[in-house]
Amino acid sequence: MISESSSPAVIALSGLTLRRGTRTVLADLTLQVAAGEIYALLGGNGAGKSTTLSVLLGFLRPDGGTVTVAGTDPVTAPDAARRQIAFLPESVALYDQLSAYENIAYFMALTGHEPTRGAMDGALDAAGLQAEARTRRVGGYSKGMRQKVAIAMAVLRDVPVLLLDEPTSGLDPRATADFNALLGRLKARGTAILMVTHDLLGAADCADRIGFLAEGRIVDEVRPADGIDVLALHHRYGEAAAA
């Protein structure tokens, strides 16, 4: 039921277990994402989606199993692993007192990069943020505009792994379509993309594989390219969430 990509895995979780107190959050979770692949992880609240991202980012230490990100173990070398990852949180919070350019410059400086204004414009163009908004302080931005700034940062990172936490929540259909198109371009660039989402339609639209997470393990997996219809997908998601 759980398939593997034919290409070498850039993100690899194997037998991952994580407990918090008496509760098992991740239970023998195994998952691989290859370069140029988009993997959507679907699951209900508390299924372990965001926890999985936290383990990949080195924020949480698992109790068992192995995890590698572009060949680096985030458990033993979290800083090195994070240098391979661009991360887009569900709710993008930026520094309200800085402009889009200044926010990007600041966050990129944290990663050790100093992009030129031209490179920032290219990334913001790709993310779809209007040119006239870029010098304004982001305190007046909508959620979608902030999301676009964060996407621009992810584009600029040019790293092998992109982790997305509910990336299209709060975006309007047009912005969602633009975002999915952008993901397609990053995929074509060879980026391994792991997204956790509730958005079935969005996942079906852009993901190569969709894994259903329940009680800390993947209980089902589908390939939208195999021609599964959305209604059936909705059913399966509902079952997985109920499980």
> For the stretch 151-164, what's the b/e string if a residue is b when 16 or more beta carbons lie within 10 angstroms of its beta carbon?
bbbbbbbebbbbbb
| Nearest-approach distance from CB 107 to another protein, in angstroms | 5
Q: Is 59 in the site for another protein (CB under 8 A)?
A: yes
Pick from 8, 46, 64, 95 the residue near another protein by CB under 8 A.
95
Which pairs from 207-210 meet CB under 8 Å and 24+ separation?
207/38, 207/39, 207/40, 208/5, 208/37, 208/38, 208/39, 209/3, 209/5, 209/37, 209/38, 209/39, 209/40, 210/39, 210/40, 210/41, 210/42
> For the stretch 106-140, what's the b/e string if a residue is b when 16 or more beta carbons lie within 10 angstroms of its beta carbon?
ebbeeeeeebeeebbbebbebbbbeeebbeeebee
Q: Is 11 in the site for another protein (CB under 8 A)?
A: no
Return the range that interacts with another protein (CB under 8 A); candidates 61-69, 106-114, 168-176, 179-187. Answer: 106-114
Question: Looking up tokens 């800390």, which residue turns up?
Answer: 216
Pick from 85, 100, 196, 203 the residue near another protein by CB under 8 A.
85
Pick from 107, 141, 212, 237 the residue near another protein by CB under 8 A.
107
| Nearest-approach distance from CB 93 to another protein, in angstroms | 4
Pick from 11, 25, 31, 92 the residue near another protein by CB under 8 A.
92
Q: Is 169 in the site for another protein (CB under 8 A)?
A: no
Q: Is 57 in the site for another protein (CB under 8 A)?
A: yes
Q: Is 110 in the site for another protein (CB under 8 A)?
A: yes
| Nearest-approach distance from CB 136 to another protein, in angstroms | 14
Q: Is 82 in the site for another protein (CB under 8 A)?
A: yes
